[in-house]
Amino acid sequence: MTRPQSLVVVLGTATEIGKTWVSAAVLGELRATGTTVAARKPAQSFEHADLGGTDAELLAAATGEDPHTVCPEHRWYETPMAPPMAADALGQAHIALADLIDELAWPDPAPAVGLVETAGGPCSPIAHDGDGIDLVVRLAPDRVLVVADAGLGTISAIRQADIALEQRNAGPPLVHLNRYDPGDDLHRRNRAWLEGDGFELTTDIGELAARLRGSAAPAPR
């Protein structure tokens, strides 16, 4: 099976944290500099009003792929719940993690960077038998990217995500602080504290793209 030269799995510290925006932005940046990219969203749930701007559609716009290549049509669940809960609510079949993984078909030749975006937070269910971290463990990516907010609560949220990943031997992650404002004292202090914790951190999409393009090994912790 084809596998990207560098496989990245993206988790958020919570839902609505901006991981799709960050994913699309960094894929667009990579593509603009000549790096071949592809994106996959194993399953997505959404409201009807979101059509035209679902996660799969935003990722597809960034990579130049078809939205139903990014996320198979039968994995689009039109109700705003975790995918397995949405499937239950809609009376659809149970979602097996193994099936989601089998459906991750990549282009041939393999792209330089392939990104898989999960649903919700690290421990949010993406299948009836697995969550975001289970997906990370099964895929064994080259990089785990955790997208977090830059403001209040981010230190605890990132530490908890890191602990959950470490407990299942799926870390350490690369952390991106979304909406980071260098003029905000709290944002600067959060960044300094997290760097003091030893986290590999980015706050700029261009810097994040450079890290992913270089596919450097994670810094030791």
- Tokens 């038998």 locate to 129
Residue 156, H or E segment: helix 154-167
Task: Give which of 14, 15, 67 is closest to 38, Cα–Cα.
Answer: 67
Residues 6+ apart with CB under 8 A from 162: 146, 171, 172, 173, 199
Burial of 221 (0-12, 13-18, 19+ CB in 10 A): exposed
Paired with 7 in beta bridges are 114
Q: Measured at the alpha carbon of residue 134, what is the angle toward residues 86 and 44, in degrees to the nearest 5? A: 30
* Contact (Cβ atoms closer than 8 angstroms) between residue 43 and residue 177: no
Residue 64, token pair as written in the block = 């130049």
The catalytic position among 31, 40, 41, 191 is 41
Q: Is 19 labeled as catalytic in the residue annotation?
A: no
Q: Give the active site residues.
A: 41
